[in-house]
Structure 1
Amino acid sequence: MSTLTPRVVVVSRRSELDELLARHGTRGAAAYFLKQRGRDLDEVTARHEALQAALTEVGAAVPADWRRGHVERADLPRFLFAPEDVVVAVGQDGLVANVAKYVDGQPVIGVDPEPGRNAGVLVRHRAAAVAGLLTAPAAQERTMVVARLDDGQELYGLNEIFVGHPSHQSARYVLSVPGGDRERQSSSGLIVGTGTGATGWCASIAGSRAVAPPAPAPADQALCWFVREAWPSPATGVRLVAGVLGAGERIELTGESERLVVFADGLESDALELTWGQRVEVGVAARRLRLV
């Protein structure tokens, strides 16, 4: 039986120009809309063309006998990645984080279509380098975080997982940490982050506190966690507001609000929901991102 040739799956998201044209219909209308906001269509068009040029160059780098696929970010929850896939994410760093939730061991190559504009932490390559990376992708593993509901649903994240009220107002719950300590809380949510995400949302929270747990490195089997704006009251406490989770450790939250949400890496449209009394555990995932 013959072995399947590898498949290169290119992941991208619609450019701002594409979104403007979908909303306004014509370039003239899009230009007028931008002008009212002190922006210029030429800059948006240049960014669109840079993305298209990178996608074209990546497509040309795929060996002729390999299979090809393409998926937009919005369709990732419905796309089935195969074990032999090599994934090429062309866009900003956040696109790699979005992809990480849906792959399981496939190498991911991050391509920056606009060097100098993006931070380039996860999209570390230019399109011209892809040809040399496809055949021998040397990947580094990065720790991921997983949330598991008591009904078996799971959600993975590369940067962080948020648990809280969908509108970020006060959420009521009982928090349990490793060692058995528990506390009833009212807060604007729980954030559990990886070393990759420690420079983002977690860093902004840690920077506002006099004492914060040390941030793990991207490959460390550890997570940092923070409770946002815990409210002290006769019924709710503020003792358990930050900490570190090691491999095999879990932090557990039992909902005491009618509706709480769990989402990863800022993608609120792909969220799990908790009702009153449901439990969610968050910890280090067995799955790891293989980032080239």
Structure 2
Amino acid sequence: MHRTSELTELLARHGTRGQVAFFLDQRGQSLAGVEERDERIRAALADVAAGIPPDWRRASVERGDLARFVFEPGDVVLVVGQDGLVANAAKYLDAQPVIGIDPLPGRNAGILVPHAPAAGAALAEAAYAGAASVCERAMVQVRTDDGQTLIALNEVMIGQAGHQSARYALSVGGRDERQSSSGVIVGTGTGATGWCRSIARIQAPDLPLPGPTDRALAWFVREPWPSPSTGAELIAGRLDDAALDLRVESDQLVAFGDGMEADRLTLWWGQRVRVTVADRTLRTVIGAAGR
């Protein structure tokens, strides 16, 4: 699995390398850096593909096609790209081992893509043989009162599609509050290394964030507005074996996970939503067993 490179996206928009170079130059940037990153990504993809046993069935999936791609139970998934690409794939998987490959060391955090391209083939064979060490990463689930579900690896966001004020009634930890805010974020221990960590630094610096394998979540309310009918007391917390409940009081809200806003649940006035730790985990490959 991979994502379209910056160069490919720029060429799709501007047509030719010359036009891309002119566009970047007008903004004080260089085509050379974009081309260099594109070459490194292509080389990483080629290295990974070359190491896969020739008798294995294989497919290449671009990020934009994830919602239409069907993963088989016995698949081994190699993700070549940034950390967020693993999170993008997570909701479409169910127990398949995931090997994160970093094509641009030094540019990515490497938390979910810790492996070099050269290690991909050996790790894939170990994962296929059941001889890989894996990290069972907790995931977060949204379930509506009419049975719709959404699962994410890092975090889920519930709010207005246009990121305007969302109105709802929040229930968590035995406390209730009607709120108007920019939305509610509920994240996992994996998410606590990304966006949720950034929110916590500002909003709740003393909140103990969960670890990647902990069956616990952290939640945050973005910019709650205190008014005669809404409050701003419930702004952050941790869920250990507990749920966050929300009743929609806007014409329409959405819930989406890991930045995949196009693949979302639409929530209507009066609808109830519950956010919990998911039963499913994401199995990321750490290494071959015994190493």
CA distance, structure 1, for counterparts of residue 167 and residue 223 of structure 2: 12
Structure 2's unaligned 5+ residue stretches are 286-291
Count of matched residue positions in the alignment of Structure 1 and Structure 2: 280
Q: Following TM superposition, by how much is the alpha carbon of 1:224 offset from its aligned partner in structure 2, in angstroms?
A: 0.5
1:3-43: CA deviations, max 9, x gaps? xxxxxxxx001101111111111111111111111111111
> What residue number does 2:16 align with?
26
Equivalent residue, structure 2, for 1:7: none
Deviation per CA, 1:190-239: give whole Å up to 9, x if none: 01011111122222222113664210011100001011111112211122
Unaligned residue ranges in structure 1 (runs of 5+): 1-10
Match of 1:269 in 2: 262
The answer to whether the 8 Å contact 2:3/2:63 transfers is: yes
Aligned with residue 215 of structure 1, among 197, 209, 220: 209
What is the RMSD computed on CA atoms of the aligned residues? Answer: 1.2
- Residue 282 of structure 1: aligned partner: 275
* Counterpart position of 2:123: 133
Partners of 2:187 and 2:196 within 8 A in 1: yes
CA distance in 2, matches of 1:258, 1:282: 20
Partner of 2:229: 235
Distance 2:80 2:245 in 1: 36
Partner of 1:5: none
- Alignment match of 2:172 (pick from 157, 177, 182): 177
135-144 vs 204-213, which deviates more?
204-213
**2:248 corresponding residue in structure 1:** 255
Q: Does 1:225 align with 2:219?
A: yes
Q: Distance in 1 between matches of 2:46 and 2:235?
A: 48
In the TM superposition, residue 262 of structure 1 has moved relative to its aligned partner by 0.7
Residue equivalent to 2:112 = 122
User: What corresponds to 2:97 in structure 1?
Assistant: 107
Residues 251 and 269, structure 2, Cα contact 8 Å, conserved in 1: yes
Moved more, 151-160 or 216-225: 151-160
* Aligned: 1:165 with 2:160: yes
Q: Deviations along 1:92-129, whole A, 9 cap, x unmatched?
A: 00100101111010000000011112111110101100
Instruction: Single out whichever of 226-235 and 201-210 deviates more from structure 2.
Output: 201-210
User: SS state of the match for residue 273, structure 1?
Assistant: strand
Q: Which moved more, 1:235-244 or 1:276-285?
A: 235-244
Taking structure 2 as the reference length, what is the TM-score of the superposition?
Answer: 0.93
Percent of paired sites with the same residue: 62
CA distance in 1, matches of 2:68, 2:215: 29
